[in-house]
Amino acid sequence: MVLLKIYVVRRGDSTYSIASRFGLSVEELARANDLSDPSALAVGQALFVPVISVIHTVRRGQSLYSIAQLYQTTVSSITAANPSLSGSAVIYPGQKLTIPFPDERWGELEVNAFVYPGVSQSTLSSVMPWLTWLSIFASMTDTQGNLSPINDDAVVNAALAASTAPMLTVVNMRPSGGFSSDIAHSVLTNRAAQDNLMNNLTAALSSGRYKGVVLDFEYIYSFDRESYNQFLQRVVETLHPLGYYVFTALAPKISAAQSGLLYEAHDYAFHGKWADRVILMTYEWGYTYGPPMSVAPVNMVRKVLDYAVTVIPSGKILMGVPNYGYDWTLPFVQGSAARSISNAYAPTLAVTNNADILFDQPSQTPYFNYTAADGKRHEVWFDDARSIRAKLRLVADYALAGISIWTADRQFSQLWLVIQSMYSVIRVM
């Protein structure tokens, strides 16, 4: 069993000193945290330490408080793990103490991950044991209900070999990119186009390669809300008798009356009634063309879940978890674009630019600022083991089915290690 210990780097720490403190090799610590250069750490960087406990030999001058500070734990935890102390704070040099790290098992959950067909096989194979569902992104429909071919044989075969359920993701996107309200309008309201889409969808599933479909229809006109509901019902009534699952992906709403093209046609209550799983895309508060902020702030995600569980059975909800961060150039100018970065790379960027990593308590998210070689200031928000743990606690808090990761294409070992440390992953195959 891998238990959860998160250590936050302090000034003067090194990978060697931290690894030695917890009884690990530098290689083990580096592997768990995707450290490209184990000799370089940023102050404030969160490290996942894959240990259950360590034995500490008391040195002269140490107290229970100083030892607790050394391991970033509490005196009460140490006392509880060492009955020989009998509640006393008196310790002596040479005495051996067990330093425990709590078991944070929160139960079971389902894990869905979106991937592109070009995901590397090494990345895919490393995460496949921790997935319930694998949603391949994506097969595009057009205004006539045709489905674009998708070269996903390698991904689907890898999923099936690992007993992970592959899902066909269908989107209303243009070949040139971007979601199209007009494509959605056509397939939702034009009977011939919808019939064609249903035939193509059934044919794609009948190959036996997929276990179901994810409907990711976005930017739907508000007046097509009821048409989308009826389409979803038709898909479910067609595919359920054939043994297929039907998922939908919905924008993160905080009320039924929320306005905007992203939200109005997404009827939480109706999707909650008909779909097998509802993926809530709880990310992109911080986004490419917006001002610097957390991509998925826990305080905002809670607001979405507070509403969602009142109209969707909580056991059908997969909460979205982003696997990326952003690097903004300051001062932010409306229309300027942030650079997308991987969570594993963010600490390296901090080290390179001699930046300390800070942690925002309301959003439960790490961030930092730095000055680039060209003299421009930057602000970076990303996820680490601490913010992933905070998000995963919401699954238990709201009794959700699980999480949905966008996307698993980028390596981020902390994400998967934290999942393993907190939950058992449900398999459906």
Tens digits of per-residue pLDDT, 347-402?
Answer: 999 999 999 999 999 999 999 999 999 999 999 999 999 999 999 999 999 999 99
CB burial readout 18-29, b (16+ within 10 A) else e: bbebbebebeeb
Tell me which residue of 161, 159, 101, 166 sits closest to 137, measured CA to CA: 166
Question: Considering the domain boundaries, does residue 59 fall inside one?
Answer: yes
Whether residues 164 and 55 share a domain: the answer is no
pLDDT band at 269 (very low <50, low <70, confident <90, very high): very high
DSSP 8-state class, residue 73 = -
Whether 307 has a pLDDT exceeding 80, the answer reads yes
- Give the domain range for residue 82: 6-100
- In the three-class reduction of DSSP (H, G, I as helix; E, B as strand; rest coil), residue 245 is classed as strand
How many Å apart are CA 13 and CA 16, to the nearest integer?
8
The catalytic residue among 218, 237, 264, 284 is: 218
Q: How far is CA 73 from CA 7, 8, 407, in A?
A: 10, 11, 33
Whether residues 289 and 413 share a domain: the answer is yes
- Residue 42 belongs to a domain with what CATH number? 3.10.350.10
Phi-psi bin for 269: left (phi > 0), alpha (psi -120 to 50), beta? alpha
- The percent of residues in the chain predicted with pLDDT above 70, rounded, is 99
Question: Considering the domain boundaries, does residue 1 fall inside one?
Answer: no
- In the three-class reduction of DSSP (H, G, I as helix; E, B as strand; rest coil), residue 401 is classed as coil
- Torsion angle defined by CA atoms of residues 382, 387, 393 and 398, in that order, rounded to the nearest 10 degrees: -40
Per-residue pLDDT tens over the stretch 215-224: 999 999 999 9
Whether 156 has a pLDDT exceeding 70, the answer reads yes
Whether residues 94 and 233 share a domain: the answer is no
Whether residues 340 and 227 share a domain: the answer is yes
Helix/strand/coil percent split, the chain, to 5: 35, 20, 45
- Torsion angle defined by CA atoms of residues 126, 127, 128 and 129, in that order, rounded to the nearest 10 degrees: 90
Per-residue pLDDT tens over the stretch 2-46: 446 899 999 999 999 999 999 999 999 999 999 999 999 999 999
What average pLDDT does the structure give for the chain?
A: 96
Whether residues 255 and 386 share a domain: the answer is yes
Of 100, 119, 134, which closes a domain?
A: 100
Tell me, what's the pLDDT at 102?
72
Whether residues 318 and 265 share a domain: the answer is yes
Rounded average pLDDT over 47-70? 94
Tell me, what's the pLDDT at 52?
86
How many Å apart are CA 425 and CA 278, to the nearest integer?
18
In this structure, what token pair is assigned to residue 108?
């079971």
Rounded average pLDDT over 396-419? 97
- H helix runs in 56-209, sequence order: 64-71, 75-81, 121-127, 153-161, 181-189, 191-205
Whether residues 143 and 10 share a domain: the answer is no
Of 61, 82, 100, which closes a domain?
A: 100
Tell me, what's the pLDDT at 2?
41
Amino acid at 407: T
Question: Considering the domain boundaries, does residue 138 fall inside one?
Answer: yes
Tell me, what's the pLDDT at 1?
38
Q: ω into residue 138 within 30 of 0, thus cis?
A: yes
Whether residues 59 and 157 share a domain: the answer is no
Whether residues 273 and 210 share a domain: the answer is yes
Place of tokens 């009534």: 237
Whether 87 has a pLDDT exceeding 80, the answer reads no
Whether residues 37 and 163 share a domain: the answer is no
CB-CB contact of 186 with 141 (8 Å): no
Known catalytic membership, residue 226? no
In this structure, what token pair is assigned to residue 115?
């991937």
Whether residues 326 and 341 share a domain: the answer is yes
Q: How far is CA 420 from CA 217, 342, 385, in A?
A: 31, 20, 12
Phi-psi bin for 208: left (phi > 0), alpha (psi -120 to 50), beta? left
How many Å apart are CA 164 and CA 231, to the nearest integer?
27
Distance of CA 390 to the CA centre of its chain: 11
How many Å apart are CA 307 and CA 323, to the nearest integer?
24
Question: Considering the domain boundaries, does residue 262 fall inside one?
Answer: yes
Whether residues 255 and 360 share a domain: the answer is yes
- Residue 224 belongs to a domain with what CATH number? 3.20.20.80
Of 100, 129, 163, which closes a domain?
A: 100
Question: Considering the domain boundaries, does residue 69 fall inside one?
Answer: yes
Number of domains forming the structure of the chain: 2
Question: Considering the domain boundaries, does residue 364 fall inside one?
Answer: yes
CB-CB contact of 134 with 164 (8 Å): yes
Question: Considering the domain boundaries, does residue 203 fall inside one?
Answer: yes
